[in-house]
Amino acid sequence: MGQTEDEELQREIRAGRTYSMAEAIGRLAGPGGLKGGSPVAGRQEAEAAIGHHIRTHLPDVPGVLKDVLLRDVAGSPLLLRDHDQPLAALAAHVAELLASESLLADLVRTADMQWGQVMGERPFFEREGSPPHPQDPYTVESVRRALARLLETLGGSSACSTSG
């Protein structure tokens, strides 16, 4: 009957106080669930670390490429598999972009579209066989160079990005 008495005592204690969101989270985490740890999910911490590195080290005057790249890497399987090493996931993602002309072109097109929305202007899209528009802030070559510089800050090699 000791267990029933304990349960009754807990009910009486809880009856006299309000139930808060913090208590609910604490109960979900279990005893000691948040001791020494951050209540922010590991993936969110990884995205924050990646975002900080991108904002600090990616050359991007208009600023749109930074947002597009962060969104791109945050949704990548690389980060899902390795959110404990966010900068390694970022380096692997950037290397993957630099190694694939189609992935790089998709990233540039997305940056162009978002730039057009932000600026309220028609975006400049590169056309195969034609030189890029002189006012286009995001060309395949300019993004390739920016990503190569970013990869260098992550300890990676930009050798794969110099061709093309």
The owner of tokens 């904002």 is 55
Are the C-beta atoms of 75 and 39 separated by less than 8 Å? no
Q: Is residue 29 domain-shared with residue 77, that is, in the same domain?
A: no
Same domain assignment for residues 9 and 60: no
pLDDT at residue 62 tops 50: yes
Are 85 and 136 part of one and the same domain? Answer: yes
H and E: helices and strands count for the chain: 8, 0
Tell me which of 32-36, 64-68, 95-99 is least confident.
Answer: 32-36
What's the pLDDT band for 29 if we cut at 50, 70, 90?
Answer: low
Position 66 in a domain: yes
* 129 and 90 both lie in a single domain: yes
Assess whether 53 and 100 both reside in one domain: yes
| Tokens coding 131 | 């030189």
In 3D space, the residue among 58, 56, 53 whose CA is nearest the CA of residue 86 turns out to be 53
Q: Are 150 and 95 in a shared domain?
A: yes
Rounded to a whole number of angstroms, the distance between the first and last alpha carbons of the chain is 78
90 confidence band (pLDDT: 50, 70, 90):
very high
Give the pLDDT band of residue 160 (cuts 50, 70, 90): very low
pLDDT band at residue 161 using 50, 70 and 90 as cut-offs: very low
Question: In this structure, are 106 and 125 located in the same domain?
Answer: yes
Same domain, 76 and 131: yes
Q: Which residue range is the domain that position 24 belongs to?
A: 1-39
Please report the pLDDT score of residue 95 as a whole number. 95
Q: For residues 76 and 127, which has the higher predicted lDDT (pLDDT)?
A: 76
Domain assignment present for 102 = yes
164 occurs within a structural domain: no
Tell me: do 66 and 35 sit in the same domain.
no
